[in-house]
Amino acid sequence: MSEIILVDIGSTFTKVTAVDLSTAQLISQANAPTTPEDVSIGLQNAFDQLGLPHEVIMGARKLACSSAAGGLRMVAIGLVEDLTAKAAKQAALGAGARVLKTYSFQLTEADLAEIEQLQPDIILLAGGTDGGNTANILHNAQALASLSQGVPIVIAGNRSVGPEVSKCFPERFSTYLAPNVMPQIGKLEVEPAREVIRKVFMEKIIFAKGLNKAERLIEGIFMPTPAAVLRAGRLLSEGTDLTKGWGDLLIVDVGGATTDVHSLGSGSPSKAGVVPRGLPEPYAKRTVEGDLGMRVSVLPLVEAINPAVLARDLNWEQEKVEKRAKELSVRPELLPQNPEEVAFDHALGYRAVHLAVGRHVGRLSELYTPSGLVWMQDGKDLSPVNKVIGTGGVMVNSQHAHSMLKGAEQQPETPLELRPERPRYFLDGKYILAPMGLLAEDYPEVALKILKDSLNDHELARRD
Amino acid sequence: MESKKTLVLGVIGSDVHAVGNKILEVSFQEAGFNVVNLGVLVSQKEFVEAALETNADAIMVSSLYGHGEIDVRGLREALIEAGIGDILMYIGGYLVVGSQEWSEVENKFKQLGFDRVYPPSTLPEDVIPTLRADLGI
């Protein structure tokens, strides 16, 4: 059997992609509305749209990722905000989670009440380097143990007290030990914790969300969709043992509720005389901007842009901008129907890309010392990155994806932000990032070939 | 590793003198300490946060460009705020500009919250026995 079917169960659509493993080509793609009460119905509908013989679909291996039922919702906890709390947040984001909130130092009664309300699917509990502080993580474990509902807890703090932390929790909690997200000051180790989170997602969360109903049709739901996208990015960047990858790259995903940015690359200073500062950042880094979205989050997006700036971009009255934004926030299903509405979505998309990439990349600051001017770099230097990939509905459906995606690059008004300087732009025109991330696990060569072929087919004209 | 005493080491402020910092790192490691070296251009906040996460036993501050007094002002208070106010703290280097009476300099930095203050050209082996004694090892 040389066919394999990759499934992405999203919150609105269930997307399926059939691949021929022997020729490393896409056979067909289809989608159908997700059916939240029993996701297997929408999944079956999508399979029916593939136009493949029933026995081929039945016989093929089927792997899935999902962002339905609110995605993977997590809370991250560490000791110091800029150290273990930040590392914990990065680990959760890289595992494809929506990080509802990050807490540092000792949890208070008010924090616990808030966590009770947020109802996270998983809590990631870190704090202390290996051999370092133990009091804080033990305090926080005892505090969390008082939550009325049991939550899966991934413990990724000071390894000296891992088992002790685990023992703080009564039976209604399930606890999982992972290596410390920050074993030493300045050393970030988020990958092992990401893998533990993914296992908990597979074993626990899809049951809790009722997504396991899909499992009568498929082999399993292996990861949250954003984790699959990051995995595809990683494969495309690093390549395989046999085939070279594309090197450093940036992926921008503009959605209705959030804008996600994934970067693959070390981000070390590219210019001489720059001193890197702060916690090192992961090679595969994901950020999620919850206030930058085209529909559900359109009001905070317009506020972040500044309505006056948007009005100037569009040559509209500011009131008209505010009116359209309100309309979209009330009716997020609206699609642009006329040139004015298209222009509005385009301006929003451009600014969302611009802001989200600006928050993702590192920045320079200058410091005058007795021995002269020193440049300091916080975060990743992505100025040498020469490939930027755009995905998400607004971008894929736009006639002007290129100029929208150019919001990512270096501009005269942002000289201190370490954005890509002169990148080539590609569009994920067939939504293959997530399915190829799934395929990457067992068939990296096939996934890499399909990624390169499809993206090369969708390269956007270079600098118009 | 767990039984070793942990030192947080760094050059404070806008000071980029990196060589002595490396020598100190190696010397303290060879003397059996677990060294968390923050390198150069280290802010007070970084000293405090690193000491907190690593449950450090002592903070070793270097300053070699004469502006140390301004850079360290408030460090002890910040440690008190962070709940580790009683941590042992040493400083050494070219702490002031010009030739000032050493006893005055030492006194000034002791008032700023340092337990030991060392003049220029102090060798690591002059400090290590005192450090061991202060840490009770």
Q: What is the pLDDT of residues A347-378, one digit of tens each?
A: 999 999 999 999 999 999 988 877 778 888 99
Q: Check whether B112 has a pLDDT greater than 90.
A: yes
Instruction: Give the residue from B55, B7, B17 showing the smallest Cα distance to B39.
Output: B17
The answer to whether residues A393 and A429 touch, using CB atoms and an 8 Å cutoff, is no
Residue B66 in contact with partner chain A when CB distance is under 8 A: yes
ipTM of the complex: 0.78
For residue A443, the model assigns a pLDDT of 97
Q: Which residue of A has its CA nearest to B53?
A: A128
What does each C-alpha distance from A64 to A36, A224, A230, B27 come to in angstroms?
Answer: 16, 9, 15, 54
What does each C-alpha distance from B123 to B20, B26, B118, B129 come to in angstroms?
Answer: 10, 13, 10, 12
Mean confidence (pLDDT) of chain A: 94
Instruction: Give the residue from A195, A198, A140 showing the smallest Cα distance to A168.
Output: A140
Distance CA(A352)–CA(A303), nearest Å, equals 11
Contacts of A83 in chain B (CB under 8 A): 49-50, 53
> Residue A430 contacts by C-beta under 8 Å, 6 or more apart in sequence?
A26, A29, A454, A458
Sheet containing A363-369: give its strands across: A274-277, A372-378, A363-369
The size of the A-B interface in CB pairs under 8 A is 68
Tokens 């498929």 correspond to A218
Distance CA(B130)–CA(B137), nearest Å, equals 10
For residue B97, the model assigns a pLDDT of 83
Tokens 């085209």 correspond to A294
Return the structure tokens found at B56. 């450090």
Mean confidence (pLDDT) of chain B: 92
Distance CA(A463)–CA(B69), nearest Å, equals 53
The answer to whether residues A277 and B41 touch, using CB atoms and an 8 Å cutoff, is yes
In chain A, where are the structural domains located? 3-69+209-218, 72-204, 234-460
Distance CA(A118)–CA(A107), nearest Å, equals 15
Mean pLDDT on A133-144: 96
The minimum CA-CA distance between A354 and chain B, rounded to whole Å, is: 31
Burial A330-358 (b: 16+ CB within 10 A, else e): eeeeeebeeeeebbbbbbbbbbbbbbbbb
Tokens 């755009």 correspond to A390
Per-residue pLDDT reduced to its tens digit, A56-88: 999 999 999 999 888 999 999 999 998 999 999
For residue A372, the model assigns a pLDDT of 79
For residue A96, the model assigns a pLDDT of 95
Q: Where are the beta strands (DSSP E) in A354-423?
A: 363-369, 372-378, 387-391
Return the structure tokens found at A341. 């509405």
Q: Check whether B61 has a pLDDT greater than 90.
A: yes
For residue A1, the model assigns a pLDDT of 62
Q: Check whether A13 has a pLDDT greater than 60.
A: yes
Q: Check whether B2 has a pLDDT greater than 70.
A: no
For residue A403, the model assigns a pLDDT of 93
CATH 3.40.50.2300 fits A72-204, yes or no: yes
Return the structure tokens found at A300. 């905070």
For residue A462, the model assigns a pLDDT of 55
Q: Check whether A228 has a pLDDT greater than 70.
A: yes
In chain B, where are the structural domains located? 6-134
**CA-CA-CA-CA torsion sign (A433, A435, A440, A443):** negative
Distance CA(A356)–CA(A371), nearest Å, equals 36
Backbone angles phi, psi at A133, to 5 degrees: -60, 135
Mean pLDDT on B92-115: 92
User: Which positions of B are catalytic?
Assistant: 15, 17
Interface of A with B (CB under 8 A): 79-80, 82-84, 127-134, 160, 182, 184-186, 275, 277, 367-371, 374, 376
Instruction: Give the residue from A87, A89, A84 showing the smallest Cα distance to A99.
Output: A89
Select from B2, B55, B66 the Cβ nearest to the Cβ of A133: B55
Q: Check whether A275 has a pLDDT greater than 90.
A: no
Neighbours of B38 (CB within 10 A): 21
Q: Check whether A133 has a pLDDT greater than 60.
A: yes
Backbone angles phi, psi at A119, to 5 degrees: 50, 60
Q: Check whether A464 has a pLDDT greater than 70.
A: no
Mean pLDDT on A411-421: 94
DSSP A82: I
For residue A366, the model assigns a pLDDT of 87
**CA-CA-CA-CA torsion sign (A448, A454, A457, A463):** negative
- Beta-carbon separation of B16 and A371 below 8 A: yes
The minimum CA-CA distance between A78 and chain B, rounded to whole Å, is: 10
- Beta-carbon separation of B34 and A131 below 8 A: yes
Q: Check whether A52 has a pLDDT greater than 80.
A: yes
Q: What is the pTM of this model?
A: 0.89
- Beta-carbon separation of B53 and A128 below 8 A: yes
- Beta-carbon separation of A185 and B65 below 8 A: no
Q: Check whether B43 has a pLDDT greater than 80.
A: yes
- Beta-carbon separation of A132 and B55 below 8 A: yes
Distance CA(A358)–CA(A361), nearest Å, equals 6
- Which CATH superfamily is B6-134 part of? Cobalamin-binding domain (3.40.50.280)
Contacts 24+ apart (CB under 8 A), B45-49: B45/A82, B45/B78, B46/B10, B47/B8, B47/B10, B47/B12, B47/B75, B48/B75, B48/B78, B48/B79, B48/B82, B48/B84, B49/A80, B49/A82, B49/A83, B49/B82
Contacts of A133 in chain B (CB under 8 A): 52-55
Residue B53 in contact with partner chain A when CB distance is under 8 A: yes
Higher pLDDT, A393 or B128: B128
Contacts of B45 in chain A (CB under 8 A): 82
Residue A305 identity (one-letter amino acid):
I
Q: Which residue of A has its CA nearest to B37?
A: A185
Contacts of A371 in chain B (CB under 8 A): 16, 65
- Beta-carbon separation of A376 and B49 below 8 A: no
CATH 3.40.50.970 fits A3-69+209-218, yes or no: no
Per-residue pLDDT reduced to its tens digit, A150-202: 999 999 999 999 999 999 999 999 999 999 999 998 889 999 999 999 999 99
For residue A239, the model assigns a pLDDT of 97
Residue B34 in contact with partner chain A when CB distance is under 8 A: yes
Distance CA(A354)–CA(A347), nearest Å, equals 11
When pLDDT is cut at 50, 70 and 90, the band that residue A450 belongs to is very high
